[in-house]
Amino acid sequence: MNVLRKAWLKLPIEKKTRFYSLIIVVIILMVGVFDISVAGMSIRNMGTILSDLTKCANLQAAMTAENEAFEKYIRNDIEANKVNYEKACVHTRACISRLPYDYSRVGAERYARAWRVINAYDYYEGQREVTLSGILHGNSFQKLYDLYEMQNNLKSYVQDLMQITVSEASLMYQKKLTLIEFLPFIMVAISITTITLTLLFGRLFSSTLTFPLKKLALGVRDISEKNFDSKDIIVDNEDEIGELVDTFNDMKHAMSEHINTLNENQLLNEQIHKDELERVEMEKQLNVAQLDLLQSQINPHFLFNTLNVISGMAELENAETTQKMISSLSHLFRYNLRTNAQYVSLSQEINVLDDYMYLQQMRFGSRLVYNKDIQEDLDTTSIIVPVFMLQPMAENSIIHGLAEKIEGGEVSLHVYKKDEAVYVEISDTGVGIPETKLKEINSGKRIKTEEHAGIGFTNITRRLKSMDENSMVQVESSPGEGTKVIICIRY
């Protein structure tokens, strides 16, 4: 209904008028067609009934004439009687061929009785010729009585067909009579419906023309009283009246904006002054930020120089372990603070992981074992991976997997190539991950790990997929048996 109303509102006024007139004409034509259809159907049905009755009556008369011609022919074998007999037989056969024999129209019972008449006559016709030939040649007349009995049976079959045809004709007549009796009521209902539809379309036609014009007149009155703050006129029309209302609303807004121009200019000047003050304040804050940036650049440089001095002193004192720890820590700081690229080579990530694991082994001692297995023919310098991909995974293995076990455990790195992809596996023999938490991690619901905001499984997966959509990160774990992170890199 809403769709039809919208389509009506889009029509121009001229087309609305034509459509309304067309609806009236169509309704009148439909009533006339209905009357003609009812009358024509009744006439066709009555004609069919009379035709079926006439065909059955013609068959009865033809069979009577044939039997009489047969009697005359066997009593007086002359040429005239023979000709009359043959004509009667042809006429009977023609009447039988015209019997109503359409199953879909006459129904099962009439079809069965017509079938019985046709088949009985076919058999009778064959026996009649044989019997007639014997009588004419002076043979026994015994079969003649059998033939008379067949004639009587045929008359009975035709009479049954006639009776059921008359019965069905009577029923059909009763139905048509009932329809004819109710026809005045049907016509009254159609007339009421026609009047109702006409009134409804008339009301719709009026509501889409008269009401919008009344609203427009009220809007013009507000403008004449210099009331520019009144609400816009809203109509559903998308025809000429809708365009007129839209134009009126635009004109009202233009006049209102013209009147308020001076006030808006004053407010604009005040806003410009306020923006100027804010710009000066932002310049001050920018200067402070530049100083902070300079200081942040000086601090890492001072830290690296200090670590290099300490490393040199440890080397002079032959403290190899201390010197190596300081060197590894210096490498980690430098990688963490100076790496601006989003992607690095896999070999750089492995070197950072080696430095990190060395420091952790110094911290945990014999409780932590680090194993590394890299395929020999694999060129890790040519493989590009997201920065900070391996170290956070190893840190998770130590903090969440091994730190909770008194006896410690192992962290292993395995890198190999398989099926046009490079696989990096970081596994541990820690406490494992509970099943519910593991499902959250693999489903991508956990955006970050508990200790490393922004650098978790989901983060690494997202950065890998930015390189190649087919790359992935998968976690396998069982409580008490450890955890394995499998990183698949497509290239």
The per-residue pLDDT for 10 is 67
Q: CB of 430 within 8 A of CB of 405?
A: yes
The per-residue pLDDT for 249 is 74
pLDDT interval class at 175 (50, 70, 90):
confident
Cβ-based neighbour number of residue 386 at 10 Å = 23
Which amino acid type is present at position 394? A
The tens digit of pLDDT for each residue in 298-351 reads 345 445 555 655 655 555 556 667 766 776 666 666 666 655 678 889 999 999
The per-residue pLDDT for 449 is 42
Question: Would the pTM of this model clear 0.95, i.e. be above it?
Answer: no
pLDDT at 25 over 60: yes
Cβ-based neighbour number of residue 489 at 10 Å = 22
Percent of the chain residues past pLDDT 70, beyond the cut: 73
For the chain, count helices (H), then strands (E): 13, 7
The per-residue pLDDT for 39 is 62
| Beta-bridge partners for 482 | 478
pLDDT at 243 over 50: yes
Structure tokens, 458? 């989901």
Checking DSSP bridges between strand 421-428 and strand 482-490, what pairing results, if any?
A: antiparallel
The per-residue pLDDT for 311 is 58
Closest C-alpha among 476, 373, 386, 472 to residue 415: 373
pLDDT interval class at 234 (50, 70, 90):
confident
* Rg (alpha carbons) of the chain, rounded to whole number: 54
Percent of the chain residues past pLDDT 90, beyond the cut: 10
Beta strands across the sheet bearing 409-418: 368-374, 409-418, 421-428, 482-490, 472-478
Question: 258: exposed, middle or buried (C-beta count within 10 Å: 0-12, 13-18, 19+)?
Answer: exposed
pLDDT at 448 over 60: no
The tens digit of pLDDT for each residue in 57-98 reads 888 898 889 888 888 888 887 888 889 988 998 998 899 888
The tens digit of pLDDT for each residue in 114-130 reads 899 889 888 888 888 87
The tens digit of pLDDT for each residue in 398-425 reads 988 888 888 889 999 999 999 889 999 9
The per-residue pLDDT for 166 is 85
Mean pLDDT for the chain overall: 77
End-to-end CA distance of the chain: 58
Q: CB of 58 within 8 A of CB of 95?
A: yes
pLDDT at 384 over 60: yes
**Pick from 169-173, 211-215, 365-369: least confident:** 211-215
